[in-house]
Every structure is written in C-alpha cells, then in structure tokens.
Amino acid sequence: MNSVSPWKSTTHPNAHGDAGMRHPHLDADKALVFNIQHYSLHDGPGIRTIVFLKGCPLRCRWCCNPESQEFGPEISYSPSKCIGKAACSWCTRICPQAMDFRDDSEPSKDATGNVIPADAAILRHDGVNALSADAVTRLANHCPAKAMTLEGKAMTVKEVLDVVQRDEVFFDRSGGGLTVSGGEPLTHRTYLRSLLAGAHERGITTAIETCGYASYAALHDAAEHLDSILFDVKSMDTVAHRQWTDFGNERILDNLRQLCRDFPDMPKLIRTPIIPGFNDSRKAVSDIIDFLHELGGTAVGIRYQPLPYHRFGAGKYAALGRPYPMGNVKLDMDLFAQIREDVLTTDLAAPALLKDEE
C-alpha cells in the first residue's frame, strides 16, 4: 500500500481545472461534499444554501476551512469525545493501521480545556492518508461516540439539489438561492456546470464563491449558469501571493479581466480577506481598487468588500492533525477600520459595508 493516498497533494497536477479535478475512485456524476449550510446571509443575495465542494489548488495560510483543501475524504477527530479503550476499541478493530490508544496515568485536556480520557484513542492521520476512500468512510462512520467526523461525502447533482430545494420557501421570500463554495468549486468543472444548470431548471438562482485559480474555460462554463459571483482578489503582489497561497496571482487577475469582458452584466462581489503580514495595508487595498476600476468598476457589475481576518477555523487544524499556520497573530482592527473607510469613499463599496455604517 502506498504511504500517501492518490488524491493527497498540495499542488495538484490539474489545479487549473481544465477538465475538472476528480477523486480517482469517484463516479463521474458525483463530487465530494463536506458541508451543506442552510440559512446563510453573507454569501450572496438573500438567504442562501451553501454547498461546499472538497478540493482546492491554493494553500492559503489563513484558510478557515482546512477540511476543504484535499480532494479526497478525511477524518476530523475530537479525542475529548472518545469514551476510551476500557469502554470501546471499535476503531482499532476496524483500522488498526490508523489507530492506537493512549496509555496515560491521568486524563489530560485539549487546547480548549476539554478533558481527554487517559485511554482515549489516537488517530494517526498519516495512516488515514494511506487508506482507500471506503476505508476512511467506514472508520469515521463506525465511531459510536461520534468522536470522528467524515469530511467529504460523495453526492450526485440530484442528491445535492434535492437538499437545496427544501429551502425554496426562504429563497422565494428573500431573493436567495444556491451558492456553491469550497474548496474551489471550479476544479469540479463538469459537475459544477451540471449543478448550476440543474438549479436553474428548478427555478433556483445561483452563485459561486471562487478564489479564481482555474482555467478560464471552467470559469466561463460556470458563468453561463450564474446569477452572481463572489470572487476573491487577495493581492496585486504576485510574489507575496505565491508566498502565502503557493501560487501567483496572474491567472486569477486574468480570469477576472475576461469575466468582466464576457459577462459585464453579471453582479460581481470582489472580496479581499485582510491578513496580518500579507496584505494588511491601505496601499495593498488601494492597489486592488485601482485594478477594479481599470476593469470597468460598477459599469461591469463590480462591488468590493474587504473582510477582516479571523481565527474561527483554527480548531479544525488540530482535528485534522495539522498545525495552524497563522499562529497567534491578530489583525489590527483600527487599521481595518481605516481600510473600510477608504473603501467607503469609492463608488465600489459593497452594500454590506454600507449597512455596517448605518
């Protein structure tokens, strides 16, 4: 057995999404969905249902959804929920190559103060990475204490849309609809196109959240079935962009240029997460605003929103057996307030920023 499963990679050979990245053992009409979030108010117009697809070519250090990055299924593990070897050893019987047990004299505590039993199971994530998708699923789903969470469930387009359509009454009343996020949804080119087209057939409006790093063909395919798009522009500095995400920004900026040219009437919310040490300066944001004006600004449907860095995803890294890349850094909120005020002086300020001012 290989030490690393075939879908685990930091820089995927098909990261541009030219044909759409697939889990190697997944049926052609399925994608891995790691969450479906209902009643969202911040990811497109009205009340949204967000479908999160697994897999992303970028490795943003601040990513708040690390379970979205890999293209295959993973397991998040909370040892404080384990009931211990004395009460249960089910996991070691199912998958001994990925499981072991603590042999501590006393219970311990995790980073948030939750008690970990002295004989709690130990999940070896390197062992999980070597398992087949079926074995990962079986291991996660058979934990009686629910200490393990499967990150990535294979779902067809119809299965996803059936779930989304249950929220139709909220869409009708609010002008909301389906938002597809990730990971990077454009890496699932064919599946995404079918999902968006299927939503339109059911009378559901559509949006995607994208980092923009994909082939333009994949973006164009999606745009033909989109009512709006949320597009990240993280930095105009390609060197810094590569240092903080593993890729430069040239493809992203070029994709946005072409999108504005080909779909000038589509509403485009351009967003920038303001990250300490990366792009936390008024100059960095000013450069982005200048670029957006060069593209045509509001004449091509552009609105702009800076977003403050947060640590909401930090605990997920520990559950996946990874260190949190950002450490304990914090955003200077006085600086962010200045950045926000700078944006409000332009004609590009997103409605969400204007509402914050009221």
Q: What is the CATH number of the domain that holds 229?
A: 3.20.20.70
pLDDT tens profile 78-118: 999 999 999 998 998 889 999 999 988 889 988 778 899 99
- Enter the tokens of residue 255: 């994709």
By residue count, the chain amounts to 358
- The answer to whether residue 263 is domain-embedded is yes
Residue 348 lies in a domain: yes
Residue with structure tokens 């779902």? 155
- What DSSP letter does each residue of 308-333 carry, written as one string? E---TTHHHHHHTT---TTTT----H
Residue 7 located in a structural domain: no
Domain boundary among 122, 151, 180: 151
- Whether residue 19 lies inside any domain: the answer is no
User: 229-248 pLDDT, tens per residue?
Assistant: 999 999 999 999 999 999 99
Q: Please state, for a pLDDT cut of 70, what percent of the chain lies above it.
A: 92
Residue written as token pair 């962010």: 336
| Together in a domain, 98 and 203 | no
Domain that holds residue 141: 74-151
Asked, for residue 214, whether it belongs to a domain, the answer is: yes
pLDDT of residue 46: 96
Please report how the helices 157-165 and 189-201 are oriented relative to each other, as an axis angle in degrees rounded to 10. 40
99 & 247 share domain: no
If asked whether residues 147 and 163 sit together in one domain, one would say no
Domain boundary residue, one of 151, 174, 193:
151
Instruction: Tell me which H or E stretch contains 258.
Output: helix 250-262
Total structural domains within the chain: 2
15 part of a folded domain? no
Which element (helix H / strand E) includes 305? strand 302-308
Q: Are 247 and 335 within one domain? A: yes
Q: Do 233 and 302 share a domain, yes or no?
A: yes
pLDDT at 353: 87
Asked if 181 and 43 sit in the same domain, the reply is yes
Query: 127 and 146: one domain?
Result: yes
Domain at 131, CATH number:
3.30.70.20
8 is a domain residue: no
Q: Give residue-wise pLDDT tens across range 154-178.
A: 999 999 999 999 999 999 999 999 9
Same domain? 174 vs 256: yes
Domain end call among 100, 127, 151? 151
